[in-house]
Structure 1
């Protein structure tokens, strides 16, 4: 596992990308990249959560990354800083694509729970982002791979009151309320017993995505609760579904 600093925050702490390169990878390559963001309700969590997935996906020829971002526990962060860090991570990878051996036009963002929210918010143009970065470089991924993501922080969604404490315009960090025709192809995997992303909300997201002309695929796991992707028995199935989705987009053979 290679670690690379993508951002230094005000207190001097570095935020890092944890990178799994494909075997034989060279900087002159132009491979697709996938960046995962860990779950933990924006309050805790570490990049190691996605090590099993990035190791498996790097075997498919993708530069696979698990990104660090600030949480409430680590830096007293709110969901706003989490979203800002997510955009920073994707922007860094695109800006440094040549040295990383990555195709800047084939960047996939993914994550679980709050990390899925961070990934999806990278698509939202008016979501919060750092002003001291080169904003001419897009933080938008070309595809989304989400595991029981927080899709709504609205009144009927998850943690509405908590999010509103950090931002008045909560719609700017609520993917369900920000769908437009520019949303990239999206894969969502979720359990039927999930209370954070209930099936009805997943169906609503899919309906709005397709109405806007976007590709959206939802895979349900019968009886699985929130956070099911952390359980080893689901890992192979989840990874195979991600591979099939990325194959359909032409990102892996």
Structure 2
């Protein structure tokens, strides 16, 4: 009987040890590529060119030229700017947008800019300067780029949407040495879930600092701004939808053309993760640009 009881106790002890031991940790799977990454991986620009040098740093444009492109052309241009909170990201992220418009006969450009970092001393103001420098470069070099300087569309997602808007809005933020006689204001804007309000209710105040209002699109709307199309989701908690709605309303009050495409429940970057939503975005953008005579 004693041996029987001892056997039961030993079995119970072994069972407890087996069930209470922590399960081995599984290795973390790498982040899956989303729709935009997958599309971008299959694309390659026609060429890259340097549009600006800052100290020993060269900043590039990744250029997609349309089929049949030749020197002396006067094509429309679709310049697109990647997001990443001004602190991350790279031009390949937006290749699908540039390539889409190259297929439709425009020159597509995906832009590189300096990334904000306290360690390197690059501020969000510097990011804005780069975007405005890029627009001036396109206009000043329109002949060699084969671009019509009065048919330039600027687009961007998230922080890139902010920089796209910055080309039209922030007249006092310019790189020293840029030609002030060359306008950085595009002929149209297409903003994808943009940073549009840099107040505490929006995004970016902590990164910009006490001068945040100087770089807040919704606080700088005025008459005479380019026709603008905005895509934004109501479920966006990164760049809240309320900012896009307020910007849209301010643009209309100022007499500007502005359209707001609302995705009900859409979270930040919604159209970058779903091919059907991306396709819908491009189709609506095509219609918008055709209505302006910027796309045949």
Note if 1:35 corresponds to 2:35. Answer: no
Deviates more, 1:149-158 or 1:38-47: 149-158
Aligned to 1:131: 176
The partner residue of 1:242 within 271, 285, 289 is 285
Q: Which of these two proteins has the greater Rg computed from alpha carbons?
A: 2
Instruction: Say whether 1:67 aligns with 2:111.
Output: yes
8 Å CA contact 2:170, 2:215 repeated in 1: no
Superposition deviation, residue 21 in structure 1: 0.9
User: Does residue 197 of the first structure (1) align with residue 239 of the second (2)?
Assistant: yes
Which of 196, 199, 202 is matched with 1:154 structurally?
199
Structure 2: any 5+ residue segments left out of the alignment?
1-44
Q: Secondary structure, in 3 states, of the residue corresponding to 1:123? A: helix
Q: Cα–Cα, structure 1 residues 88 and 75, in superposed 2: closer, same or farther, change >3 Å?
A: farther
Query: Which gives a bigger RCO, structure 1 or 2 (Cα 8 Å, sep 6+)?
Result: 1
TM-score using structure 1 length: 0.94
Asked whether the 8 Å contact 1:121–1:127 carries over to 2, the reply is no
- Cα distance, 1:125 vs. partner? 4.0
**Which of the numbers 143, 147, 155 marks the counterpart of 1:102?**
147
TM-score normalized by structure 2?
A: 0.80
Q: May I ask how many residue pairs the two structures share in their alignment?
A: 249
Q: CA deviation at 1:127?
A: 4.2
Contact 2:85 2:159 in 1 (8 A): yes
Q: Could you tell me how far 1:75 is from its partner in structure 2?
A: 5.2
Q: Deviations over 1:65-122 (max 9, x none)?
A: 1000011369552211110100011110010001111111111111000000011011
- 1:165-196: per-residue Cα shift (whole Å, max 9, x none)? xxx43222111011000211000011121113
SS at match of 1:153: coil
